[in-house]
Amino acid sequence: ICEAACGLIAETDAGGGGTLSPDVEHVVSRGFACAKGVRFGQVHRDPARVNAPHLRRGGKLERASWPEALSRVGAQLRDIREAHGSHAVGVYLGNPAAFSPLTPLFGTAFVRGLGTRNYFNAGSLDCNNKFVVAREMLGSPGIHPVPDLDRARFALLLGTNPSVSQSSFINAPRMVERLRKIEKRGGRVVVVDPRRTETAQSVGEWLPIRPGGDAALLLGLIHVILKEGREHKIRVGRFTRGVDDLRRHVAAFDPRRVASLTGIEPARLEALARDFAAADGAFCHLSTGVNQGPHGTLAYAAKIALETITGNLDREGGALFPRGAIDVATWARRLGIDREPPWRSRVGGFPPVLGALPCSILPDEILTRGPDQIRALVVIAGNPLLSAADGGRLLEAFRSLELLVVIDLFINDTGALAHAVLPATDWLEREDMPLAQLQLQPEPYLQWSPAVTPAHGERRHDWQILLELARHGGFPLGSPALQRGLELALKWMGPSRLLAAPLAASLGPRPLELLKRHPHGLRLPQTPAGDFLRRRIGTRSRRVELCPESVFSDAPRVLADVPREGTLLLFSKRQRVGHNSWMHNNSELRPAPQRAHLSPEDASELGLANGDRVRLRSETGVIELRVQLDSDVAPGGVAVPHGYGHHRDSSWSLARTRGGANVNALAASGPRAAHPLSGMSQFNALEVRIEKLVGDEAEGSGDAAGV
């Protein structure tokens, strides 16, 4: 489900039921698991699951056999490629694919076999900013500094709410508990957010900030540290390049100017900078709340620069670079697979990030006529109709496709528009080995788990589906040689041995057998501090590039970022028992109704009371919701949970009854809406105007989907 990968114990019964409970012996989570994890059994058993292929006939999706579905889809893919070229077929890979170990391998091979440049994934919706910054500053998109939670004395958190979502780009169950221990050992935790989040209520001190002001804050902290000479001069001189360029770029971010951009008083900013620089081990961790803002790429670069100049990068108590069982970044660099292809997108001329184009231009790539126009789209483990920006434009685009194929657990909102829906297994139905988090672990470990239950109905593993689609479509999976190699490996080794093979270098000649002897996880050695900067950094200079111009050229745009009068800044609100768009049909999870959360001060100024129905309008779209007065929201912002507004033809009957609106309909799509380097869409700090509905409009259901 997520990067925390908390250990669970599965108990099954003869009737196909069973329970999931926290694994108290797990080497890292040690008995912790969230409500979503222990209630995933309902997702597995949900009557709304799609258990057989479905094809559209006469305007309706109807059950079909696998041979018929594969034959029809394969023939259509072949016909479209022959008539319009390889780029006429696009692929979208959703977020859950990252947590299915074989899906990224087979998904990227599927894209390469198609020969299409029109590959999209969820990265441009939540984290591509981190990949491009890591490439520019550290030499590889696949390596990121990870907080040394258990030895730090100062934690600065921005746009992350681990009390609800366990955070991102860190594999750290029980994170709030570990943050509390920082305070117990005399340290300090500062939670920066436009809302007093559940995390801020549980640990540390809350520092309210204007939505979208994170980059300005971080650049302001660097300004104070450099101006006052508080940088770690020895480490800056030995391990970095570009400190003078950094000094030049942050010169305009003096405390008074930053106060106008963030709402944080100059004296508080200065004190925060001094305390961070003086702490005996400090880290800054930011997540999707910042990534999805207007300056997420620059903010992540500033975070790395802040940790570096204070001597906290690659040191105990600061931010470390775990190797994991496989040093993925080093191998990717040696093999050249972390190099981006040289081509650009047809619309907007965007460079790919990890081979993928920005989701913001997906509607335009479908609707803009001409050579290489997308006419068929294969969606794997995703729901871009609700997850991506500008749902109305996406709806128009998806309806225009000659072929839309969805591989998923459900007929989700995107699947409701599909010509074919192919049923995939979930993680209870497959052998598993979470490999995506190996370099994001403060406590390194590795674990293998068997399938809990056989695949139900006619569900198939997504890698099997992709292999069959390639066969029926007349193209190889990657290349003929790669396809033969994968087929032979799967035949003679099976999925788990295939995945475990690269582990032999670190775990010995029989890695899978070793992992099977440690069902609660196998602890791995800690990577020593200093190992990355001295031996593994991949930049040409062999130093941290403190101030890449490709990223820091955005700084003037931050200074000009002032909201227009009469608007509030929209930002996302996580829900403890929700997960993006695909957990709302779980009858064992009961999220609070979706509401527009406003501060009492802003509500009073707008003449709004609790429960009033309002219209939220951006330059892109309009939605309608009811108001929730919320003293935890700082004035100037409006917080709305995402993932709602489910399509009437999806199989999620319970989710549809929970109402709500697609808040991402307020976010813009198109080439002007994507960050030029990272391709990120903007979902946070969107300017919206709020209008109270009266009369008959006020008596409506309270929601308008906005798709």
Question: Using one digit for the tens of pLDDT, what is the confidence trace for 186-234?
Answer: 999 999 999 999 999 999 999 999 999 999 999 999 999 999 999 999 9
Which structural domain, as residue segments, surrounds residue 180? Answer: 140-324+532-555
% of the chain beyond a pLDDT of 70: 97
Q: What are phi and psi of 315, to 5 degrees?
A: -140, 155
The model's pLDDT over 311-345, given as tens digits with 9 standing for 90+, comes to 999 999 999 999 888 877 777 776 666 788 889 99
Last residue of a domain, one of 471, 503, 523: 523
pLDDT at 604: 98
The answer on 514 and 468 residing in a single domain is yes
Check which CATH number belongs to the domain holding 255 and give it. 3.40.228.10
Task: Say how many domains are in the chain.
Answer: 4
The answer on 459 and 378 residing in a single domain is yes
Check which CATH number belongs to the domain holding 518 and give it. 3.40.50.740
Categorize the per-residue pLDDT at 16 as very low, low, confident or very high, splitting at 50, 70 and 90.
low
Domain membership of residue 180 (yes or no) is yes
The answer on 538 and 649 residing in a single domain is no
The C-alpha atoms of residue 572 and residue 160 are separated, in whole angstroms, by 11
The answer on 658 and 540 residing in a single domain is no
Return the higher-pLDDT residue of 552 and 336. 552
Among 223-227, 249-253, 347-351, 577-581, the range scoring the smallest mean pLDDT is: 577-581
Return the higher-pLDDT residue of 230 and 699. 230
The answer on 567 and 551 residing in a single domain is no
What's the whole-number mean pLDDT along residues 634-645?
95
The answer on 415 and 396 residing in a single domain is yes
What's the whole-number mean pLDDT along residues 109-135?
97
Residues sharing a CB contact under 8 Å with residue 235, sequence separation 6 or more, in sequence order: 308, 311, 313
Check which CATH number belongs to the domain holding 588 and give it. 2.40.40.20
Domain membership of residue 469 (yes or no) is yes
What's the whole-number mean pLDDT along residues 599-615?
98
Q: What is the pTM of this model?
A: 0.96
Do β-strands 188-193 and 376-380 pair in parallel, antiparallel, or remain unpaired? Answer: unpaired
Q: Are 46 and 74 a contacting pair, CB within 8 Å?
A: no
Domain membership of residue 44 (yes or no) is no
The answer on 170 and 25 residing in a single domain is no
Do β-strands 544-545 and 240-241 pair in parallel, antiparallel, or remain unpaired? Answer: parallel
Categorize the per-residue pLDDT at 279 as very low, low, confident or very high, splitting at 50, 70 and 90.
very high
Tokens at residue 506, please? 């670190």
The C-alpha atoms of residue 127 and residue 359 are separated, in whole angstroms, by 12
The C-alpha atoms of residue 458 and residue 471 are separated, in whole angstroms, by 19
Helix (H) or strand (E) holding 537: none
Categorize the per-residue pLDDT at 388 as very low, low, confident or very high, splitting at 50, 70 and 90.
very high
Domain membership of residue 193 (yes or no) is yes
The answer on 604 and 499 residing in a single domain is no
Q: Are 642 and 664 a contacting pair, CB within 8 Å?
A: yes
Domain membership of residue 91 (yes or no) is yes
The model's pLDDT over 485-529, given as tens digits with 9 standing for 90+, comes to 989 998 898 888 988 888 888 899 999 999 999 999 999 998 899
The answer on 281 and 153 residing in a single domain is yes
pLDDT at 335: 63
The answer on 355 and 309 residing in a single domain is no
